[in-house]
């Protein structure tokens, strides 16, 4: 065992020194720690992200080392934190739980959030798989777009938030274009004030964490399609993270005349409870064969070629993923705290409800399981990570 640890330590040390000069990383090398026997042994046979590690005494207990339980005020924010990290693109096995990652610096327009809950989105695993390499930030990455938590530090230009505020938001302004290296699957995350809103008081952190990216996408797509009161809509994938919110926003915020949505058999009742007038079982019916046509078809599944057959002449087809067939149009969500603020009254009153998948919330230690579940493409509503830690 000693020999194994020793050789691993040397390997890490040399890797660290080799890469440290060239890597610009938010993960402070001075605080990187390899703290468990298990982790060290793993790192001897897997590709190690050197900037995350400093060879250390291996008897230390990683759970006890970081100051993760310190009070949530700026004076007691620790310099390192626990976080999920990947240093290579790939499957769920690239995700590593690290005990000593640098807490991100707070820019003038940002606040530091003590993360209480986070949520996963398909963009998290698509990004991890390297699908957006060309526009991604450099590795290593702490994944996670959605966050809910408490402000513990404010930048000098922050006007509307203060320490102690309970907030939520999607921390990456442009989902695919230069998302931050340090995401929300961590004890702390730094976020621009404009991307956040005060958390609705009626929601707990886990419920709030599941909303930002999905509800902002739902809202932006409806707006871009020109959706308005009295119009009809068909939502493809009505039980998913985005779809479950498109159904609710269309019905309860935009005052749709009629909402139809697709799902598999077991989720039809959910669609109705969210406000769908017509729940279509896609395992039994082809929505494009229905005589009824819609002002807007909102495709969250990647079925644009079929979606265009279900829209009225002159209507709109919103596309989130997959190939686009005219007149369909695709957009990529822009994070925007003012959308959350605008929708907060509907969330406070319960007219619009977060849908948290009942397999979760997954504790912080089970992020790999949560990703694996999301990647089945069968999640109902949102896959939430809570509590952290």
Closest to ligand NAP by CB, 200 or 240:
240
> In the stretch 332-371, what mask flags binding to ligand NAP with x, by CB under 6 A?
xx--------------------------------------
What are the start-end ranges of the H helices in 77-188? 122-128
Residue 273 found at the interface with ligand NAP (CB under 6 A):
no
**Using CB under 6 A, which of the segments 21-29, 102-110, 120-128, 363-371 binds ligand NAP?**
120-128
Closest to ligand NAP by CB, 55 or 241:
241
**With contacts defined by CB under 6 A, how many residues of the chain interact with ligand NAP?**
29
Beta carbon of residue 221, minimum distance to ligand NAP (angstroms, whole number): 8
**Most distant CA pair in the chain: distance in Å?**
73
- Decide if 193 contacts 158 (C-beta within 8 A): yes
Beta carbon of residue 250, minimum distance to ligand NAP (angstroms, whole number): 15
Tokens of 111: 């606040």
User: Among 237, 315, 337, 360, which residue interacts with ligand NAP (rule: CB under 6 A)?
Assistant: 237
Closest to ligand NAP by CB, 97 or 282:
282
- Single out the residue of 349, 322, 250 nearest to residue 306, CA to CA: 322
Q: What is the 3-state secondary structure (H, E, C) of 186-235?
A: ECEEEEEHHHEEECCCCCCHHHHHCCHHHHHHHHHHHHHCCCCCCCEEEE
CA distances from 70 to 66, 182, 183, 185 (A): 9, 20, 20, 18
User: Among 66, 240, 315, 361, which residue interacts with ligand NAP (rule: CB under 6 A)?
Assistant: 240
Beta carbon of residue 336, minimum distance to ligand NAP (angstroms, whole number): 12
**Using CB under 6 A, which of the segments 141-149, 154-162, 178-186, 256-264 binds ligand NAP?**
256-264
User: Among 43, 80, 184, 263, which residue interacts with ligand NAP (rule: CB under 6 A)?
Assistant: 263
* Strand 383-385 versus strand 294-299 pairing type: unpaired
Q: Tell me how far apart the terminal alpha carbons of the chain are, to the nearest angstrom.
A: 31
> Checking phi first, is residue 60 left (phi over 0); if not, alpha (psi -120 to 50) or beta?
beta
Our CA dihedral for 125, 129, 135, 141, rounded to 10 degrees, sits at: 70
Residue 262 found at the interface with ligand NAP (CB under 6 A):
yes
User: Among 267, 298, 340, 367, which residue interacts with ligand NAP (rule: CB under 6 A)?
Assistant: 267
Distance CA 111, CA 368 (A): 28
**Using CB under 6 A, which of the segments 13-21, 47-55, 133-141, 372-380 binds ligand NAP?**
372-380
Closest to ligand NAP by CB, 98 or 220:
220
Closest to ligand NAP by CB, 111 or 333:
333
Q: What is the 3-state secondary structure (H, E, C) of 280-308?
A: EECCCCCHHHCCCCEEEEEECCCCHHHHC
- Single out the residue of 41, 84, 36 nearest to residue 63, CA to CA: 36
Residue 189 found at the interface with ligand NAP (CB under 6 A):
no
Contact footprint for ligand NAP (CB under 6 A): 121-123, 175, 214, 217, 236-237, 239-243, 262-264, 267, 282, 300-301, 320-321, 332-333, 374, 377-380
């Amino acid at each position: 065992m000693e020999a194994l640890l020793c050789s691993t330590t040397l390997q890490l040390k040399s890797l660290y020194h080799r890469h440290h000069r060239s890597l610009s990383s938010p993960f402070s090398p001075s605080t990187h720690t390899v703290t468990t026997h298990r982790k060290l042994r793993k790192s001897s046979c897997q590709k190690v992200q050197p900037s995350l590690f400093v060879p250390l005494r291996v008897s230390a207990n990683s759970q006890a080392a970081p100051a993760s339980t310190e009070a949530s005020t700026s004076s007691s924010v620790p310099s390192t934190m626990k976080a999920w990290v990947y240093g290579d693109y790939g499957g769920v096995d690239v995700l590593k739980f690290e005990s000593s990652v640098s807490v991100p610096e707070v820019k003038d327009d940002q606040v530091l959030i003590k993360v209480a809950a986070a949520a996963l989105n398909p963009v998290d695993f698509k990004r991890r798989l390297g699908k957006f390499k060309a526009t991604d930030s450099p590795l290593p990455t702490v994944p996670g777009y959605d966050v809910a938590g408490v402000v513990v530090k404010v930048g000098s230009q922050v006007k509307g938030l203060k320490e102690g505020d309970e907030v939520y938001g999607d921390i990456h302004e442009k989902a695919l274009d230069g998302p931050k290296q340090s995401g929300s699957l961590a004890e702390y995350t730094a976020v621009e004030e404009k991307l956040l809103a005060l958390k609705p008081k009626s929601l707990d952190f886990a419920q709030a964490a599941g909303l930002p990216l999905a509800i902002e996408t739902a809202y932006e797509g409806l707006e871009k399609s020109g959706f308005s009161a009295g119009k009809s809509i068909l939502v493809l994938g009505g039980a998913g993270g985005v779809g479950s919110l498109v159904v609710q926003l269309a019905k309860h915020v935009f005052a749709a005349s009629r909402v139809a949505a697709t799902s598999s058999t077991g989720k039809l009742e959910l669609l109705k409870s969210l406000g769908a007038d017509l729940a279509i079982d896609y395992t039994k019916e082809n929505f494009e064969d229905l005589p009824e046509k819609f002002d807007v078809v909102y495709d969250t599944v990647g079925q644009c070629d079929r979606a265009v057959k279900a829209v009225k002449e002159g209507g709109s087809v919103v596309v989130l993923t997959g190939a686009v067939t005219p007149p369909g149009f695709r957009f990529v969500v822009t994070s925007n705290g003012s959308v959350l603020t605008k929708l907060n009254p509907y969330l406070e009153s319960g007219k619009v409800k977060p849908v948290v998948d009942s397999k979760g919330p997954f504790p912080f230690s089970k992020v790999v399981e949560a990703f694996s579940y999301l990647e089945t493409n069968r999640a109902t509503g949102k896959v939430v990570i809570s509590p952290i830690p």
